[in-house]
Structure 1
């Protein structure tokens, strides 16, 4: 065996953690020497170390006290493994300790990984780290040198016995008490700058105000810094007087302190307006809605230039409405984590349908504005059998979960994985109040101080227990509950979450997970233990963890088999093998396009809304909500789907009007939007008789940063049905007339808008299309053709997006379509999803940046098309590549293509067809490349 080397970096392709786990689980002996070991990194290796112990594999670990970064807790945990010897190199001022070496012994060789990574979650998963892996035979000079140096270091180090760890811990406590803590943050107002989310929000709010808008809503996950964002934005706006309204008094003082911190030396005054204090003459007034709703008449209507409404999802309530209708600010900002409707009014309409920003869980993790979480999916004990029970039968589920052996199993796993921080601060989410009471009682019996909370407990009682949980000197460690902490309750120091019930809603799962993600000085990560049973909806966990990406069977299966490689940062998701296999089997059996599946999704979502029939806009308001365009694909419109499921007379009556029915079908068929211009124009026409091309530009600029005149013109021509064939014209009512400069409502549209029911449903579809477009495409201008990298597209949509000025329905049926010098290549990688050997070997990735494509059979090198393809750069021809893994995954449902960008021909051979090798202008991201190429 020759010496082999490879570079290991943390990227979408892989990370050091993956290499270490694989090596520990397969080697015959291991030796590790690292300067620091934090519990955040050790926790990720616990299962691999347990597996090594099960296999009787011995290991040695050396770490150090250098800079006091090693956790005593990590040392104590390593010492629980009988197969591992642990030593500590005690450093002093003269000698530092910087080694980062991982040595794995195999039968005939060593694997040595040396580089920059210590054992911390960031070093193993997300930091910029370089580590070199070297394979070297036994007896080689390199392996002998490495082992000799390790043995010398081992002799110079001290065993990490209880006495050493105790003395080291005492020293760290002394340092914490007498000197600046290593957690001390150097923070002065002039050095506090907006994070990425806050910057994006401020820029978008500036753009909206420049276009004359006076209201906007920012949607961002808990813990992402919405209050700071509003303070930064108001500082830019520079109001003379500002009003900050909150729903709960607990957060009022914190908000005031944030604004004071960011506005030093400004001569602004800051005051509270509450039941006890009425400091209404301050420049910046921080008020509770309860007090303000009684005393708002003490202020002038135009007294405040800038109003902020925190937890804005409450703003549709009557107490808010009379206040908001009274004041006339220059700008009003709403902030919420979950913009659900609290009644029949839309929060979006309250803020003039202007979304300043939307940030959900995956974006928050990617931007590092919440802490990482370590999720462990654990197969429940055999005694818990949920295979034959409906998840909605809470009483039966509760009865089956109340098992003493399960309590012991939960505690065993909880103690195995541990937690970040000195004191465990845990929320356990249960199936019912009865289940929560049982868990609290059983935990208390076993010496773990616990309580249960329900909606019946007073707010005072809840707050009292939350304070006890957060108090490091209080014995309370566990609060068991059902769903009162799903949203709106802030307990920043939570470091552990137990999922003790079957997951039946991705939305609820994400809300519960979010309770522990706020950054806090006492924790670096959140531990999540999910006990996965054999119920028939276990795969919903995978949907929740996979984020809001489009998903189908293939993408979900690849995500599970690769350990959710798409999850950003130091977050770690790990399911045991039984849970993985169980979920993969369920996904194989499920048909995500069937009426049964879609109906279950719809009814579960409806249940979350307390039984109210969801509007299509409701699906935008929850992270993890179903995608209503799947309902549209099944039934031609969301309204048709609701009518099919609900069988209600109101929907039936509405759809009895064939013109309205065809209009709703026509608009719904454009969802999800890939170009927003048409819907912006139609939304304007709900309130106005006509719109000119110049006015159209101003309206579109409220949604995106730029727009070209030709695309505005093309959108108006498209609405005028200039590119419809005869069948399309017959099926789609003409809603507008275009005279070359002005778009005007048609008589058909006028007639529909006179009926409020028709108007409201049309408006909902238009609003949904625009809001979802803003969520998916942000405010970016993509030019012509209007294509976003790695977005999904149908073949016919490309005619629209490239301003094709012929009948659009002709833009289909071939692997190669063109519009002038824009060539569009549509490619299937596999012929049949059920046959793994069905790879199309002529069309394939050669690497993430190199693709081989075979032209249609009739294409000769001598034809104009052939010349354009093989000499595309010289002939100024752009080749756009659209790839899909399979033509179909679900029966009778064609899969969309994914746009991977432009390619340029480097090599070619053959004739009729030509085989072309293309250099991609954009390297395909690792997670997408894996999804294209991995067969599960």
Structure 2
């Protein structure tokens, strides 16, 4: 038996895992990116969707090819979790590169390594640059830091997989400076809809917390200032939790250890079985186990439990550490999104944080595809005063935004009627076909950020789109894909949309090409005037069919 074959023998504890459909799709997509020469690729999975299982199976595939693999992370819990999951799901044992533990001389094909240890020159120099064929970076949103880059640049010929929960646009732009592609993304709404994660209901608590004096630090709010600002409100927050959390298993995120400990005491005074954990807790494992076994029903922490800890029974999250970093917010909420017997939904408590800055994360930012929809969602949830399913809230907010856009579009069209322009403004086209992904598009990877190519410009002109209004190659590519799809489906062209909407017809972007052609023909035969028998404002495509 070969060495590789020996390493793949499954021990008695190995669990045969059948991957979920999206997990298998992700596994195949990652291998496809590497086979096509895209050496650095990303996997985006929401918390609770089994990212460790997916990259374990990817590692198994690579080891079968005789490769050496490094799993790189910044916390011991993540390394232990990866090592445990890898052995249980594939039978592969691992060597460890952390502190005094070393993998040098080990015959195991997989190494789990602490970035804090690996980045040291003395440790890194023990490995030839071609030692690892593949590197998996867990919690990849950290990988732009100097420490990670020192390790990754040392092994620059390796294939790299970065794994992260849904990042915000800022994260994607940052990650796009290193990663070449996004191999696969599975969204939170899709995971909920397909029954793999718990539904989420958001409730805005009508308690105004003033954050105007909180300073910024490293791109987010200063934790020290947050603790000071939050302290006067802790008793009122505890009173609100009495109303909504007494029969729930709750995790509370706070900015400082002393604030977390104080809030635990306040909750205990109000009848909760509350506990607190922090990085210095000597009995942390025991407290977490007791919480799991329902000795406690509230667990307070100061950002300790954002990564590497799971308790599926958690059905309430209270975020008292306001942030403008979506990935951090998603990780906090992700502690409660897993499925559990008897659990019907996750309740997410939101507060009326008063700040002069508008980039604060709210429940809407978990699923909203644009800042515009997120803002409308937040307003609607605040006005409701009861727990609202975030998917339903997103759908309603999208409808509201579309209605507002149509009103704005009507004003814009009135102005555009005065323009004798041969080509169609892409904004008009996007609004007409209600293409949220086009209107809110932000380039992430290097090639997307460059200007449109000459070929893209010429093709956009052929389709009737004004190319000067498309300022990057990524947007041009997305727009051309949509135009080609619409042509294959027999839908209206940009010029048909512009012509008919200038004459007051609504929703022309949803019409069939033939319907629009016939209407234009009728207008043409009437001396380029809309026939008196037709009211453009109320006309629908079905009227032509009927």
Cα distance per residue 1:607-652 (max 9 Å; x no partner)? xxxxxxxxxxxxxxxxxxxxxxxxxxxxxxxxxxxxxxxxxxxxxx
CA distance in 1, matches of 2:514, 2:56: 48
Q: Helix, strand or coil for the counterpart of 1:468?
A: helix
Alignment partner for residue 238 of structure 2, among 384, 407, 413? 407
CA distance in 1, matches of 2:287, 2:205: 32
Cα distance per residue 1:772-831 (max 9 Å; x no partner)? x5xx99xx9995426899xxx9x8xx438xxx9xxx96575253979x9833669xxxxx
CA distance in 2, matches of 1:439, 1:517: 24
Contact residue 129 and residue 154 of structure 2 kept, 8 A: yes
Q: 1:683 and 2:378 equivalent?
A: no
Q: 1:351 and 2:175 equivalent?
A: no
Aligned to 1:392: 212
Distance verdict in 2 for CA 1:296–1:563, change over 3 Å: same
Contact residue 682 and residue 766 of structure 1 kept, 8 A: no
Residue 334 of structure 1 deviates from its aligned partner by 0.9
CA distance in 1, matches of 2:239, 2:284: 24
Contact residue 375 and residue 528 of structure 1 kept, 8 A: yes
Cα distance per residue 1:511-539 (max 9 Å; x no partner)? 4322222456x8745642637669799x9
Contact residue 313 and residue 341 of structure 1 kept, 8 A: no
Aligned to 1:516: 336
Alignment partner for residue 201 of structure 1, among 26, 44, 47? 26
Aligned to 2:459: 718
Q: 1:293 and 2:124 equivalent?
A: no
Q: 1:551 and 2:373 equivalent?
A: yes
Distance verdict in 2 for CA 1:503–1:255, change over 3 Å: closer
Aligned to 1:823: 514
CA distance in 1, matches of 2:405, 2:445: 34
Aligned to 1:488: 307
Contact residue 72 and residue 136 of structure 2 kept, 8 A: yes
CA distance in 2, matches of 1:259, 1:447: 42
Contact residue 218 and residue 336 of structure 1 kept, 8 A: yes
Contact residue 306 and residue 330 of structure 1 kept, 8 A: yes
Residue 361 of structure 1 deviates from its aligned partner by 2.3
Aligned to 1:656: none
CA distance in 2, matches of 1:681, 1:316: 14
Contact residue 451 and residue 473 of structure 2 kept, 8 A: no
Structure having the higher Rg: 1
Q: Helix, strand or coil for the counterpart of 1:307?
A: strand
Aligned to 2:79: 252
Residue 450 of structure 1 deviates from its aligned partner by 3.3
Cα distance per residue 1:568-588 (max 9 Å; x no partner)? 9xxxx9xxxxxx9xx9xxx99
Distance verdict in 2 for CA 1:361–1:393, change over 3 Å: farther
Aligned to 2:414: none
Query: Which structure 2 residues correspond to residues 741-780 of structure 1 after superposition, within 5 A?
Result: 766=473, 769=475
Distance verdict in 2 for CA 1:208–1:545, change over 3 Å: closer
CA distance in 2, matches of 1:247, 1:336: 13
CA distance in 1, matches of 2:445, 2:205: 52
Residue 374 of structure 1 deviates from its aligned partner by 5.8
Aligned to 2:162: 334
Q: Helix, strand or coil for the counterpart of 2:144?
A: coil
Residue 440 of structure 1 deviates from its aligned partner by 1.9
Residue 227 of structure 1 deviates from its aligned partner by 1.4
CA distance in 1, matches of 2:448, 2:205: 53
Report how many aligned residue pairs link the two structures.
469
Aligned to 1:497: 316
CA distance in 2, matches of 1:341, 1:684: 14
Considering fraction of residues, name the structure with more strand. 1
Aligned to 1:234: 59
Residue 403 of structure 1 deviates from its aligned partner by 4.0
Contact residue 222 and residue 337 of structure 1 kept, 8 A: yes
TM-score (norm 2): 0.64
Aligned to 1:440: 264
Residue 333 of structure 1 deviates from its aligned partner by 0.8
CA distance in 2, matches of 1:552, 1:343: 18
Cα distance per residue 1:530-555 (max 9 Å; x no partner)? 37669799x98673476437739998
Cα distance per residue 1:132-157 (max 9 Å; x no partner)? xxxxxxxxxxxxxxxxxxxxxxxxxx
CA distance in 1, matches of 2:170, 2:486: 41
Q: Helix, strand or coil for the counterpart of 1:351?
A: coil
Q: Which runs of 5+ in 2 are unaligned?
A: 1-11, 215-225, 407-424, 527-536
Aligned to 1:799: 494
Q: Which runs of 5+ in 1 are unaligned?
A: 1-186, 574-579, 594-664, 692-712, 734-761, 827-853, 863-884, 888-899, 906-913, 918-936
CA distance in 2, matches of 1:812, 1:523: 52
Residue 330 of structure 1 deviates from its aligned partner by 5.1
CA distance in 2, matches of 1:278, 1:668: 60
Residue 225 of structure 1 deviates from its aligned partner by 0.9
Which deviates the most, 361-370 or 809-818? 809-818
Contact residue 310 and residue 334 of structure 1 kept, 8 A: yes
Q: Helix, strand or coil for the counterpart of 2:391?
A: coil
CA distance in 1, matches of 2:380, 2:27: 37
Q: 1:273 and 2:97 equivalent?
A: yes
Distance verdict in 2 for CA 1:345–1:391, change over 3 Å: closer
Contact residue 497 and residue 527 of structure 1 kept, 8 A: yes
Q: 1:785 and 2:483 equivalent?
A: no
CA distance in 1, matches of 2:149, 2:109: 23
Contact residue 304 and residue 328 of structure 1 kept, 8 A: no
Aligned to 2:221: none
Cα distance per residue 1:658-678 (max 9 Å; x no partner)? xxxxxxx99999897659xxx
Alignment partner for residue 567 of structure 1, among 368, 384, 391? 391
Cα distance per residue 1:578-602 (max 9 Å; x no partner)? xx9xx9xxx99xx999xxxxxxxxx
More contact order relative to length (CA 8 Å, sep ≥ 6): 2
Residue 468 of structure 1 deviates from its aligned partner by 0.8
CA distance in 2, matches of 1:326, 1:300: 8
Aligned to 2:132: 304
Contact residue 495 and residue 523 of structure 1 kept, 8 A: no
CA distance in 1, matches of 2:201, 2:187: 18
CA distance in 2, matches of 1:445, 1:547: 38
Distance verdict in 2 for CA 1:592–1:491, change over 3 Å: farther
CA distance in 2, matches of 1:680, 1:498: 31
Q: Helix, strand or coil for the counterpart of 1:823?
A: helix
Residue 442 of structure 1 deviates from its aligned partner by 1.7
Aligned to 2:70: 243
Distance verdict in 2 for CA 1:290–1:544, change over 3 Å: closer
Q: 1:375 and 2:375 equivalent?
A: no
CA distance in 1, matches of 2:154, 2:110: 18
Residue 432 of structure 1 deviates from its aligned partner by 7.5
Q: Helix, strand or coil for the counterpart of 2:112?
A: strand
Residue 201 of structure 1 deviates from its aligned partner by 1.4
Q: Helix, strand or coil for the counterpart of 1:528?
A: strand
Cα distance per residue 1:142-177 (max 9 Å; x no partner)? xxxxxxxxxxxxxxxxxxxxxxxxxxxxxxxxxxxx
Residue 567 of structure 1 deviates from its aligned partner by 3.3
Residue 320 of structure 1 deviates from its aligned partner by 1.7
Contact residue 274 and residue 288 of structure 1 kept, 8 A: yes
Considering fraction of residues, name the structure with more helix. 2
Cα distance per residue 1:191-216 (max 9 Å; x no partner)? 41221331221232243234322220
Residue 722 of structure 1 deviates from its aligned partner by 5.7
CA distance in 1, matches of 2:469, 2:202: 51
